[in-house]
Amino acid sequence: MNPIDTYIKNSVETATPLQQVILLYEKAIVSLKGAIEDIEQNNIKSKIEHLNRVSDIIRALDSALDFEQGGDIAKNLHLLYDFIASSLVTVHVKNDTQLAKDLIEILEKLKEGWEGIESKV
């Protein structure tokens, strides 16, 4: 394992659940940016890998939602994650870099929200 992968693995393993959520958002954002570069460079294989990684992250975030304790927030996040997941298909099929940029913006706002929560606990 290279040093960067080792660092990331250790960061995730030692992070609190809240920090893990933030790290997942960061990884999704980085992967979407990679997909945009891949679209611009016509690198289909890498684009698919990046979009699949984002899809996996969104599914993981969605499956971690607690609808009993989370109430309306969990329901709204579920709807947002569903929108992101379906939009990833559009990004793939249409090579829609603007939609990918819009998704990055959404993920960045969500990440900022979680970081705000983290700063208060």
The reply to whether 43 falls in a domain is yes
pTM attached to this predicted model = 0.89
In the chain, how many domains are there? 1
Mean pLDDT computed over 20-33: 96
pLDDT band, very low/low/confident/very high, at 32 (cuts 50, 70, 90): very high
Q: Which domain CATH number covers 32?
A: 1.20.120.340
- Provide the sign of the torsion angle of the four alpha carbons 87, 88, 93, 98, taken in this order: positive
Residue 10 in any domain: the answer is no
Higher per-residue pLDDT: 6 or 104 = 104
d(CA 70, CA 75): 8
Query: Greater confidence, 121 or 53?
Result: 53
pLDDT of residue 9: 64
Greater confidence, 71 or 12?
A: 71
* Domain assignment of residue 104, given as a range: 16-115
pLDDT at 12: 65
